[in-house]
Amino acid sequence: MLKHFTPTFIKKIDTWLIKNYPAVWVTRIHYVLFCFLCLSLFCFLIGSLIPVDLKDNNTSILWYSLLLIACFILSWYWGFKYIIFNIEKRFGQTSITQVYFNALLTLTCVYLLTIIPNFYVYAHNQKFKNALSDKQLFIDIALMNSLEPYVPTNLYNYENTFDTLLKLNKSNIRHYKNFNDYTPYTLNNYDYKNYSDNGEISFSNVKPIYDKKYLIKLINQHIAVCEKYKVSATIDASAVADTFIVNYKAGWRINNNNYSNDYYKNNIKDVFRNIYSAKLDYPFYLQPDYLYVQLYIVLTLTLLIWLFKLTYWRQYLLTAVIFFLYPIIMLIIFSIISSSTSKMMYYSFFAYFLISLIYTILSLKNKQEFKPLQMVGAIGTLILTLYLPLIILMYINDCTMLFKYEYPANYDSFGKQILVNNNYKYVYDWNYYYATIMNDWWYEHYKKWLTWLKALSPILVFAILPAFHTILRKQLALPKKVN
Is the same domain home to 144 and 116?
no
Same domain? 1 vs 125:
yes
176: β partners:
158
Which domain-ending residue is among 262, 291, 325?
A: 262
Structural domain of 88: 1-130+271-309
Whether 304 and 201 share a structural domain = no
Specify if 361 maps to a domain.
no
Q: Is residue 429 part of a domain?
A: no
Residues 305 and 229 in one domain: no
Task: Give the pLDDT of residue 199.
Answer: 35
DSSP state of 150: G
Residue 170: strand pairing partners: 161, 254
**Is residue 100 included in any domain, yes or no?**
yes
Domain boundary residue among 193, 228, 262? 262
pLDDT at 59: 74
- Final residue belonging to a domain, choices 207, 229, 262: 262
| 151, 122: one domain | no
Look at the chain and report how many structural domains it folds into.
Answer: 2
Strand bridging mode 415-420 / 252-254: unpaired
Whether 340 maps to a domain, the answer reads no
Question: Do 104 and 55 share a domain, yes or no?
Answer: yes
Radius of gyration of the chain measured on its C-alpha atoms: 32
Statement to judge: residues 163 and 107 lie in one domain? no
Identify whether residues 285 and 225 lie together within a single domain.
no
Specify if 56 maps to a domain.
yes
φ, ψ at 415 (rounded to 5°): -110, 140
Per-residue pLDDT 10s for the chain (483 aa) are 456 677 888 888 888 988 888 888 888 899 999 999 999 999 999 988 888 888 877 777 888 888 888 888 888 888 888 887 765 555 455 678 888 888 899 999 999 999 999 999 999 888 888 888 888 888 999 899 888 888 888 777 777 777 677 677 777 777 777 667 888 877 754 444 433 443 333 335 777 888 889 999 999 999 999 999 888 888 888 888 888 888 888 877 776 655 566 788 888 988 898 888 888 888 888 888 899 999 999 999 999 988 988 888 889 999 999 998 988 888 888 888 766 778 888 999 999 999 999 999 998 888 888 888 999 999 999 999 999 999 999 999 888 888 877 766 655 555 666 555 555 566 666 677 777 788 888 888 899 999 999 999 999 999 999 999 888 888 888 887 655
Identify whether 373 is part of a domain.
no
Phi and psi based region of residue 198 (left: phi greater than 0; alpha: psi -120 to 50; beta: remaining): beta
- Cβ distance 335 to 341 under 8 Å? yes
Q: Are residues 71 and 220 in the same domain?
A: no
8 and 50 housed in the same domain: yes
User: Phi and psi for 344 in degrees, rounded to 5?
Assistant: -70, -30
Are residues 70 and 176 both part of a single domain? Answer: no
Residue 245 maps to a domain: yes
**Same domain flag for 121 and 191:** no
Say if 48 falls within a structural domain: yes
